[in-house]
């Protein structure tokens, strides 16, 4: 590695990270991220030119240096964590391109996540699902299943509760990303389904062309949300998926009915536009008249937004 390392690499890292210097302001941290993105871009160029093994080594060094800098940062940790997530995904891509063992990739992910003090790995799995190849998915699924198996449900639950809940969500995300509807459903039923799980399952089925079955799970998810609530989860994604599936299935009158219901709840410009798009062209004048009548009776905020947008 040392013999092939470009002259710019070490100097660029030193100038970007400024080891030993605390960066407390948002401006300083964003400047740091821009410099790191410049280095990242050059390494990505190596990967694109087929130099996967070389790029892999550089990504690995940069990852470690980025982690080492974390204690020296003040605010805007979210932006820095977001950069780290992208960099880690680049490292995974490079390992896959170089033919590296995916089990080792998964092992490193778990080892670093277990020692994560900065939240860098909190949402990283959501980005990984768009990066992993089939062997990578299998390796990560095996590793995370092993992690969960090692965590007893009862023993030490208070101390491990958040950790276990996190790994449950990671495994759900990986199963959904792998497109394994059966395994995803079985795991969710065992752990307990939340409103988001219904949307994820419907998404798997929709990608596989199973629109009727996907719609059935959307309906069940909305019913679940109505009965139990979604906690921190918003059911709007389920509602939007339902409209899209109904449209794809040719059930346009049902889409129109849903758009009308949405507009009645919130008579704003964007909902009006969705309503007009769903209405048959010959019926739009009538639906426009009905919508404006509802808006006049509604709250000032949404009505003002609508009338200003329509210049009424």
- Residues 82-118 pLDDT 10s: 999 999 999 999 999 999 999 999 999 999 998 898 8
Tens digits of residue pLDDT in 149-199:
988 654 433 443 458 889 999 999 999 999 999 999 999 999 988 888 999
Last residue within a domain, chosen from 45, 71, 100: 100
Tokens 């009308």, residue located: 260
pLDDT given for residue 155 in this prediction: 42
Counting the structural domains of the chain, the total is 2
Determine, yes or no, domain membership for 143: no
Determine, yes or no, domain membership for 53: yes
Determine, yes or no, domain membership for 278: yes
Q: Are 143 and 106 in contact (CB under 8 A)?
A: yes
**Per-residue DSSP letter, 261:** H
Tokens 């590793």, residue located: 143
Give the residue numbers spanning the domain of 296. 254-312
In which region does residue 89 sit, left (phi positive, over 0), alpha (psi from -120 to 50) or beta (all else)?
alpha
Cα separation, 156 vs 154, in Å, equals: 6
Determine, yes or no, domain membership for 58: yes
Token pair of 204, please? 């798997």
Cα separation, 303 vs 292, in Å, equals: 8
pLDDT given for residue 29 in this prediction: 93
Determine, yes or no, domain membership for 280: yes
Last residue within a domain, chosen from 100, 125, 159: 100
Determine, yes or no, domain membership for 240: no
Last residue within a domain, chosen from 75, 100, 125: 100
Q: Are 32 and 16 in contact (CB under 8 A)?
A: yes
The pLDDT-based confidence of 230 (bands split at 50, 70, 90) is: low
Determine, yes or no, domain membership for 156: no
Determine, yes or no, domain membership for 92: yes
Cα separation, 229 vs 246, in Å, equals: 24
């Amino acid at each position: 590695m040392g013999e092939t390392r470009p002259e710019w690499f070490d100097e660029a890292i030193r100038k970007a990270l400024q080891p030993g210097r605390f960066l407390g302001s948002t401006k300083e941290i964003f400047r740091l991220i821009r410099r790191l993105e410049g280095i990242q871009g050059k390494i990505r160029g190596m990967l694109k030119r087929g130099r996967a093994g070389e790029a892999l080594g550089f990504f690995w060094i940069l990852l470690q240096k980025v982690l080492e800098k974390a204690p020296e940062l003040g605010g805007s940790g979210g932006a820095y964590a977001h950069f780290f997530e992208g960099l880690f995904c680049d490292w995974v891509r490079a390992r896959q391109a170089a033919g590296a063992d995916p089990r080792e990739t998964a092992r490193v992910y778990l080892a670093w996540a277990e020692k994560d003090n900065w939240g860098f790995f909190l949402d990283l799995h959501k980005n990984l699902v768009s990066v992993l190849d089939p062997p990578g998915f299998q390796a990560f699924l095996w590793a995370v299943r092993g992690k969960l198996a090692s965590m007893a449900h009862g023993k030490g639950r208070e101390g491990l509760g958040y950790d276990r809940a996190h790994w449950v969500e990671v495994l759900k995300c990986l199963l959904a990303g792998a497109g394994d509807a059966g395994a995803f459903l079985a795991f969710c039923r065992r752990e307990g389904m939340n409103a988001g799980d219904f949307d994820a399952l419907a998404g798997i089925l929709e990608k596989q062309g199973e629109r009727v079955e996907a719609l059935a799970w959307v309906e069940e998810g909305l019913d679940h949300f109505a009965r139990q609530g979604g906690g921190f989860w918003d059911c709007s994604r389920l509602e939007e998926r339902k409209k899209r599936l109904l449209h794809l299935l040719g059930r346009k009158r049902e889409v129109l009915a849903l758009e009308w219901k949405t507009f009645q709840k919130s008579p704003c410009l964007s909902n009006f536009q969705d309503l007009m798009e769903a209405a048959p062209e010959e019926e739009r004048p009538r639906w426009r008249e009905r919508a404006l009548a509802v808006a006049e009776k509604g709250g000032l905020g949404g009505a003002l937004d609508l009338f200003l947008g329509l210049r009424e």
